Amino acid sequence: MTETHYDRAPGDTTPPPELDSEIASPFLVYTTGLVLAVILTATSFWVANTSLLWGPGVALGLAVLAIAQMGVHLVFFLHIGTGADNTNNVLALAFGVLIVILVVGGSMWIMTDLNGAMMRPAELMNPHMQH
């Protein structure tokens, strides 16, 4: 087995020694992350306020921008990458994402469904009167 492996801590800024020359300086990594994050944030605020876009699509667009920005933060600030030495960190992250999707998606699905079932009688149609 000639392949080399290094353990990487989440947030590690130092590349493995022999890769030093191939990887951009850590300062540049953080700055790239900042620039990308600023662009995505500015786009989010623009999307939320513009009337140029199709209204119902705005929420979806905002969700996509937010997920992209979370990815930028993970890669450039937390240094969770696709490298072979990051496997444990990525697996933990994947499990966390699974739970988050189950909790948020499941809650919204079930509660929307229940609201739909509750609101058939006309007098219960006003969702603003829920407590």
> Binding residues for another protein, per CB under 8 A?
1, 4-14, 16-17, 26-27, 30-31, 33-34, 37-38, 41, 44-45, 47-49, 55, 58-59, 62-63, 65-66, 69-70, 73-74, 77-78, 85, 88-89, 92-93, 95-96, 99-100, 103-104, 106-108, 111, 127-131
Tell me which residue has tokens 């030093």.
20
CB 43 within 8 A of CB 65: yes
Measured between alpha carbons, how far apart are the two ends of the chain, in Å? Answer: 63
Alpha-carbon torsion, ordered 125, 126, 129, 131, to 10 deg: 50
Minimum distance between the CB of residue 104 and another protein, rounded to whole angstroms?
5
Minimum distance between the CB of residue 121 and another protein, rounded to whole angstroms?
18
Minimum distance between the CB of residue 119 and another protein, rounded to whole angstroms?
12
Integer Cα distance of 32 and 28 in angstroms: 6
Q: Which CB sits closer to another protein, 120 or 131?
A: 131
